[in-house]
Structure 1
Amino acid sequence: MANGTQPSVPGEVGRRLLPVIIDEVARQDPDRAWASLPIDDYDLEQGFEDISYAAFANGINKLAHCITKALGAAPPDGGIEPIVYLGVPDIRYYMLIPAAAKAGRKVLFSSHLNSLELHLALIKQCACKAMLLSRGVYAGDILEELPMPTVEIPELDDLLDLAVKAEPFPYTKSYDEAELDPFVICQTSGTTGAPRPITFRHSTMSTLDMQTELPDVEGRKHMVWQRGVGTRFLMVASPFHAIACILAMTVYAFGGCILVPGFRNRPVEGINEMCDIIKYSNAKVGFMPSFLMELIARRDDAEDYIKQMDTVVYGNGILSDFAGDMWSKTTRIFDVWGSAEVCTPPQLESDPEDYQYCYFDVEAGGCVFKERDDLEYFGDDGARLELYELVMTLTPQSQRYIGYWESLGEGTKAPPAPPYPEYPTKEVWTPHPDPAKAAYAWRFVSRVQDLVADAGEFALAFEKALGKHGMVQHAIVLGEVDATPAVLIELADGVTRFDAIGLWREAIAPTNADVPEGSRVAENHVILIESGGFVRSSEGHMLRTQTQQKYQAKIDRVYGRAASEISASMRPRYQSIIETVEVSRVVEEQA
C-alpha cells in the first residue's frame, strides 16, 4: 500500500527521532501532507484540508518557543522537566509531544475524564512543574490544590498559520544521546486496575519502527502500522490516550501516512458523525474500536460506508460474527492487540476468515500463553474453552520490538538465558481450533477480572445472554453483599427505554431459571442506560469500574441507599464533554 512515487521517511530504521523526522520532512518536502482536517466541522461537504509538514513543523516551533518563553530554557543539567497539559481534544496534543521534547520537557496527558483526585495523583506522581492549558479548559480545582505556573497555548489556527513564521527550534540530540529520554507520559485506561502513568521514551518508539525489519514468519507478512507515504489513515480517538499518541506517531512519523483524526475543533459526537467522516475524508485505511464497527454494521446503510474502506484494524475487543461478516465482504479487517504498557507487539497478517483472531509473532514478541484452568468460560456451543493468559517476556529478541521494556528505562536489559522477566497482561485468550494455527493465532476472550465478576460465577451467564440480544450493546452484572444482583444494561444504538420493556422477560428470566435463587436478577434490579452511556477507553474497552462509578446514584437507588452528592470535581473540563466526548464513546449522561 506504500506509494513508491513519493519520498520515503528519512533516517535509519530503529534510530529515528520524532522531532528530527518532522523537521527533515518539512525541509525536504514542505508541501507533503501530515494530517487532513475538515474545512468546516459542520459542513463536511466542503471537503478536507491537508495540513502540510511545513505548517506542522512551524506550529511545533511556535509551541516550543511558547513553552521556553513562559517557563524558561531547558534545565541546564540536561534534566527533562515534567509538565502537564489539559486541552481541547484536537491535534495540538500531537504537536505538543515534539514541541515539549525540543523545549527540554516531557508532557503528561491527563485524561479529561479523570476525577479531581486522579488528576492530582497523576500530577504528583509525575512531579509536574507547570500546567499548559488550551482556551476554554477548566482547571481551577486542580490549581487550587496544586498551585503551579500556568500557560495558555496558542489556538490551533494560529499555530498552523504559515503567514507567521517561527524561528527554527532544532532538536540537536543524536539517537544515542536521546534514546532513553522520556518525551510523553500517558495514563493506562484503567481496565485492569487504577489508572497510572506510563512514560514513553524515544527508544519505546523505536521498537515500533524496528518491527518493519522483521522477516516473514512461515510465509506470513507482519501487520504494521506504516502503510506508506500518502496513505490517508483514519484514527478518531482521544488524543490524550496512549493508543492515540503511540499509533499516530507511528502512522505519520515512521509510515508517512496522512493522519485523519476527525474534526478540526471539536470531538466527534455519535455514530452518524463518524459515518460522515468516513464518507467525506477519503480515508481508505483506519483503526477503529470493535464497538464502532458493530454500530456501523447494524445500520441499514452500512455497506455504503464499509465499502469505502480498504483495510480496517480493530483491537482489544470482540467483533461479533454479524459485524465481522458484514465488514469482511468488501474490506480486509485485522484484529491487533496492544496496550498502553506494551504498545503493540509484532503481529502477523491474518487470513481473511480469521478476523476474530490475533496472529502473534510469538518469538519476536516474547509472547507466552500460560494456561489458566482456574478460570471458566463457555463458548456458544456450551463447551468450555481452553483459557490462557498472555504473558510478555523480556528476551534478547523481544527487547528490540516491545515498547514495555524500553518504557521502563535504563537498566532494563534482557538476561542472556531463562528465566526471563515477565509482564502478565491479565488478559485471557483461547487458541485457534486449527492445530496448524494454534501456536500463533489466538482469540481474545476476556480480562481476568471480568471472569471473576462481583456477582459470582453466574454473572457471566447473564452478561452473555444479554449481550446476544439485539437491543443490548453491553451489560454489567453487579453484586452486593446480602442482596440480589442488579444489572446495568447499555441499550443498542437507536433503542429507547420504551423499546426495551420486554428485555427482562426475553433475556433475563430464562437465565434466572438456570441459576440459584440468590443469584437471580429481579425485574426491579434492571437499570437501562441509553446507547453510548457506558465508559470506554479509546481502544473500545468497556471500563467496568468507571461505568459503575458513573451510575452509582442509580445503583444506590436500586439498593435503597440515598443518592450520592455530586462533587465539584465532576464539573466538565470543557463544555463539549457534557453530553458526548468523541467516538471513544465516553458519554456524560444528561441530567
Structure 2
Amino acid sequence: MGSLSNDDMGFQTPFYRPTKIVDHGKRLLPQALDKLAAEDPEHIIGIIANPGTMPNLTFTSLTSSQMANAVNFTSYWLRELVDKDPYETIAFIGLQDFRYWTITLAAMNTGHPLLLTSPRNAIVNNVSLLNAANCNRVLYSGGGSPLEAHVKKLQSIISGLHIHEVPGLEQMIAVKSGLYPYNKTFEEAKKDTVVLLHTSGSTGHPKPIRITNAFLSRMDLDILAPLPSRTMLAGLTLSRRKRLNYLGAPLFHLSGLSLKLNSITSVPFIHQAIFGAHGDELKTHLGELDHICSFGEPLSQSTASWIEQNLPDTLLWQCYGSTENQAPLMLIAPKGHRNCIYFHPTLGPDFERLSSTSELYEIVFRRHSDPKFEWNHPVFEVYPHLDEWRPGDLFRKCQDQGFEYLWEFHSRIDDIIIMSSGAKVNSLHIEVKLSDHPLLKGCLIFGEARTDCGMLLEAKQADIGKEELLASVWSAIEEANLLVPAHARVLKQLIVVASVEKPLARSVKGTLVRKLSLKLYELKIQHAYEGFWSN
C-alpha cells in the first residue's frame, strides 16, 4: 500500500465520527422518528422544490413534528382502509414528494409490507411485480395525472386490483392525530418484512426483494466498523446533522438554485448536468460542498476532473452497491484516485480472478466468519439460504504503483461480448468514452457471435437524421476505437440509429438495459450485417 499523509488523502474537513454508541443497529424507524419529533420538533427532515415555480424556485420544508403527525394520520387512515387483513401487502406509486416517507412509515406502523414500484416501469413490469408480490391493493398520488392513468391501466389488466388515491400532504400534516402505537422491540420486529423493493431491471424484468428491519438496520451500523489508520469511512457517516444533502431527483434549472448544499448524492447523468453543463456558472453555489457521491455507473472522467480541479476541498467518492446488498463498507480513496473504489480492507468483499492471465476480478460477497460483523452484508437477510452471493460485476485493480488496493469498476459479466472467433470485447471501453458526447443520449456496442462490432446510437435531439448524427459523432468513435484492440473496434457500416418512436430500454435508475435494447433493434442490426457483407 502506498505511503499516504493526511494531505494526500485530502481530508481537510473535520467530519464527525461519534464515539458514544447508543442502540446502533437496533433502532426501528417509526420509533426513531417519534423520538426525534419529541426531542427536536423543528428539525428539518427534508426540503423539496415546489412544482411550477421555475425559474425562481420556491421550496417546502418538512419538520420532524410535521412528519410524525403525517405518519400517525396515515397509519389510522390505512387501518380503516385495510381492516380485513392486518398483514396484507400493499403497493404505492406516487409523485415525488414527502408522501413516500409518510406512507412507508405508516405501513410499518400498521404491519403492511409495502411494495414500492416505480411509475417509470413499463406496465408489463409493474403487473409482473404486483403478481409476484401477491399484491391486490395499490395506493397512488397524482389524481388527474398520467400517473393515475398508469394505475388505472394496471387495474384494467389485473382482476380484483383495488386502487386508492392517498390524501394530500397538507391534510396529513394539518389534521392533528394521536400517536399510533408501535411498541415492538427490535428483536420482535427484526424479521418483519416492511418494504418490498425491486431490482433495477438492468438484466431483465425487475424482481421483488423483501426488505426486513434487520436489513434496514445495516444503514445504522457503519459506525461499528473498525476504521483503519488515516482513513475515512465513505457513506452516511459523512452526512452532518442539520446540513443539506441533495439526493436523487434532478433540479432541472440549476441556475435558479437558492439553497446552500453541503453534499450531492446522485447518478452520473445528474452530476454531468450540474458540473459538466453548468459547473462554471454554479461554482459560487458549490463551494460549500463537503462531499459528492456518484452511484449507479462510472462517473465520466471529464466530470470527475472538473470536480477535483474546481472544488479541491470537496470529497468525491464513487459508491458501489445494489438493492439486494445496499452498499458494502467503503473508505474515501486518496486524492487523485477518486475514480476508484476503496473497499474496507477487512470487512469488504472478496475478489476472484477470472483466469491467471486476466486483469479482471469478479466481486464475491461471503458471510463474515465473525458473527459480530454478520450485519456487514445484508444480502444474506434477503437470501438466508446462501453463504455466497455473486452480483455479476467485474473489477480491476488500480494500475498506479502503490495503489493496487483500490479497485475500478470495469463491467458486468453480461457486458462482455464474445465474438465468433472466441475473442472477448468489453463494451464499456467505448461506451463510457462516448457517454458525455453532447449529441448522444445513449450508445451500445453489439457483436455477440459475430466477426465484427457495431454500435446502436440514440440521439438527444429528435430532429437529427442518421447521416447528420453519424457525421458529428464518428470522429469521437474513431478516437475511442484507438483505445481498444482491432477486433473490438466499431465499423462505420455497422452503425444503427434508434428512432424516436422506439427509445432504448432503461432501468428505473436511468441506465441502459443492454439485452432489452438490442432486442428492440434485432432486425435492424441483422439488416446492417447483411448489408455489410453484401458490399
TM-score by length of 2: 0.81
Aligned to 2:394: 428
Q: Which one-letter code corresponds to 2:168 in the other structure?
A: L
Matched, 1:352 2:332: no
Q: Superposition pairs for residues 501-520 of structure 1, below 5 Å?
A: 501-503=470-472, 505-507=474-476, 511=481
Q: Which one-letter code corresponds to 2:339 in the other structure?
A: Q
Aligned to 1:16: 27
1:368 to 333, 350, 358: 350
Identity of aligned pairs, percent?
19
Aligned to 2:383: 408
Q: Deviations over 1:348-369 (max 9, x none)?
A: 122221111111114223x101
Aligned to 2:364: 391
Q: Deviations over 1:316-373 (max 9, x none)?
A: 42223321110123132111111111101111122221111111114223x1011013
Q: Which one-letter code corresponds to 1:406 in the other structure?
A: E
Aligned to 2:244: 232
Q: Superposition pairs for residues 76-87 of structure 1, below 5 Å?
A: 80-87=87-94
Contact 1:48 1:280 in 2 (8 A): no
Q: What's the CA shift for 1:70?
A: 1.2
Q: Deviations over 1:184-225 (max 9, x none)?
A: 101101224432111111111111211112221132121131
Aligned to 1:26: 37
Classify the secondary structure of the residue corresponding to 2:277. Answer: coil
Unaligned runs of 5+ in 1: 238-261, 263-267, 377-385, 413-420, 562-591
Q: Which one-letter code corresponds to 1:432 in the other structure?
A: C
Aligned to 1:191: 202
Contact 1:58 1:159 in 2 (8 A): no
Aligned residues: 495
Aligned to 1:127: 134
Contact 1:31 1:53 in 2 (8 A): yes
Aligned to 2:6: none
Aligned partners of 2:275, 2:356: CA distance in 1, in Å?
36
Aligned to 2:269: 291
2:184 to 173, 178, 195: 173
2:83 to 65, 72, 82: 72
Aligned to 2:108: 101
Contact 2:89 2:135 in 1 (8 A): yes
Contact 2:41 2:64 in 1 (8 A): yes
Classify the secondary structure of the residue corresponding to 2:321. Answer: coil
Q: What's the CA shift for 1:448?
A: 1.0
Q: What's the CA shift for 1:89?
A: 3.0
The RMSD of aligned alpha carbons is 3.7
Aligned partners of 2:395, 2:70: CA distance in 1, in Å?
44
Q: Which one-letter code corresponds to 2:220 in the other structure?
A: D
Aligned partners of 2:179, 2:90: CA distance in 1, in Å?
22
Q: Which one-letter code corresponds to 1:158 in the other structure?
A: E
Q: What's the CA shift for 1:276?
A: 4.5
Q: What's the CA shift for 1:374?
A: 8.7
132-141 or 449-458, larger mean C-alpha shift: 449-458
Aligned to 1:281: 259
Unaligned runs of 5+ in 2: 1-12, 529-535
Q: What's the CA shift for 1:143?
A: 2.2
Matched, 1:145 2:157: yes
Aligned to 1:219: 230
Q: Which one-letter code corresponds to 2:270 in the other structure?
A: L
Q: Which one-letter code corresponds to 2:381 in the other structure?
A: E
Aligned partners of 1:375, 1:494: CA distance in 2, in Å?
45
Q: Deviations over 1:97-120 (max 9, x none)?
A: 111111110111122233333222
Change in 2 beyond 3 A, CA 1:453/1:95: farther
Contact 2:199 2:208 in 1 (8 A): yes
Q: Which one-letter code corresponds to 1:224 in the other structure?
A: G
Q: What's the CA shift for 1:458?
A: 5.1
Contact 1:356 1:443 in 2 (8 A): yes
Aligned to 2:4: none
Contact 1:369 1:390 in 2 (8 A): yes
Aligned partners of 1:115, 1:340: CA distance in 2, in Å?
19
Change in 2 beyond 3 A, CA 1:427/1:42: same
Aligned to 1:255: none
Aligned partners of 1:471, 1:117: CA distance in 2, in Å?
31
Matched, 1:91 2:73: no
Q: Deviations over 1:115-166 (max 9, x none)?
A: 333222222221114222222423233223333352424343334433x212
Q: Which one-letter code corresponds to 1:445 in the other structure?
A: H
Classify the secondary structure of the residue corresponding to 1:286. Answer: strand
TM-score by length of 1: 0.74
Q: Superposition pairs for residues 442-521 of structure 1, below 5 Å?
A: 442-452=407-417, 457=424, 460=427, 463=431, 466=434, 471-472=439-440, 474-479=442-447, 486-491=454-459, 497=465, 500-503=469-472, 505-507=474-476, 511=481, 521=491
Aligned to 1:321: 301
Contact 1:63 1:96 in 2 (8 A): yes
Q: What's the CA shift for 1:465?
A: 6.4
Classify the secondary structure of the residue corresponding to 1:281. Answer: coil
Change in 2 beyond 3 A, CA 1:529/1:466: farther
Change in 2 beyond 3 A, CA 1:446/1:524: closer
Q: Which one-letter code corresponds to 2:382 in the other structure?
A: S
Aligned partners of 1:175, 1:149: CA distance in 2, in Å?
33
Change in 2 beyond 3 A, CA 1:44/1:102: farther
Aligned partners of 1:28, 1:64: CA distance in 2, in Å?
22
Q: Deviations over 1:561-583 (max 9, x none)?
A: 9xxxxxxxxxxxxxxxxxxxxxx
Tell me which of the two structures has the higher relative contact order, counting C-alpha pairs closer than 8 angstroms and 6 or more residues apart.
1
Q: What's the CA shift for 1:10?
A: 11
Q: Which one-letter code corresponds to 2:322 in the other structure?
A: S
Q: Which one-letter code corresponds to 2:231 in the other structure?
A: R
Aligned partners of 1:292, 1:494: CA distance in 2, in Å?
21
1:157 to 165, 169, 177: 169
Q: Which one-letter code corresponds to 1:290 in the other structure?
A: P
Change in 2 beyond 3 A, CA 1:60/1:44: farther
